[in-house]
Amino acid sequence: MPAVQSLPKRVLGFIQEQHLIAPGDRVLVAVSGGPDSVVLLHVLRALQPALKVAQLTMLHLDHQLRGEESSQDARFIQDLATQWGLPCHCRSVGVTEYRETHRVSLEMAARECRHRFFMETLADLQANRLALGHQADDQAEEMLLRLIRGTGPGGLAGMAPGTPEGLIRPLLF
């Protein structure tokens, strides 16, 4: 029976195998407050010395969709940043208003607002990586959705562990 590896060890191996982070990289971590993103942050923080990451910074976008619960998530993330001594950049955006203005679905509006925030912050902070908490279950869900929508063979590849614009998914093993 194969030995069970610790999560940080598996993540480190995947990061190295996929060349997701190089020494000196400035890594932003998108943290929603959910378990996947908090685990990702915890693991990357633990691996920061081994990976020789120059800066680890938390990002959070409050979509203003869940009222007080959204505000509680933002406070939790800011408290976590303080507790762990990490810089944190939070922003609130009215996704519902964006949806109405741009005439897109709520899911698409949220995705576009997140992407804009992430790309702006990458540029503003001169960071070169943005770590996302997508994991294997998200990958399977994405592939099923693409199949349902009638994607071609290229769409069945799923989410990439890394993209040219610097998005990385270290939990996608």
For the domain that residue 42 is a member of, what is the CATH number?
Answer: 3.40.50.620
* Inside any domain, residue 123: yes
CB-based contacts of 58, cutoff 8 Å, min separation 6: 28, 29, 31, 41, 77, 80, 81, 86, 87, 88, 89
How many CB atoms are closer than 10 A to CB 129? 22
Determine the structural domain holding residue 80 and report its residue range: 7-168
* Inside any domain, residue 173: no
* The model's pTM: 0.85
Q: Which contiguous run of DSSP H or E holds residue 146? A: helix 136-148
Amino acid occupying residue 151? T
Q: What is the pLDDT along the chain (173 residues), one digit of tens a residue?
A: 455 569 999 999 999 999 999 999 999 999 999 999 999 999 999 999 999 999 999 999 999 888 888 889 999 999 999 999 999 999 999 999 999 999 999 999 999 999 999 999 999 999 999 999 987 666 556 655 665 666 666 665 567 899 999 999 999 98
* Inside any domain, residue 79: yes
* Inside any domain, residue 21: yes
* Inside any domain, residue 118: yes
pLDDT at 147: 58
* Inside any domain, residue 2: no
Number of domains in the chain: 1
pLDDT at 136: 66
| Residue 139, both tokens | 């990958």
* Inside any domain, residue 61: yes
* Inside any domain, residue 1: no
Answer for the pair 109, 102: CB distance below 8 angstroms, yes or no. Answer: yes
Return d(Cα 65, Cα 59) in angstroms, integer. Answer: 18
How many CB atoms are closer than 10 A to CB 50? 11
pLDDT at 15: 98
DSSP letters along 46-73, please? HHHHHHT-SEEEEEEEE-S-STHHHHHH
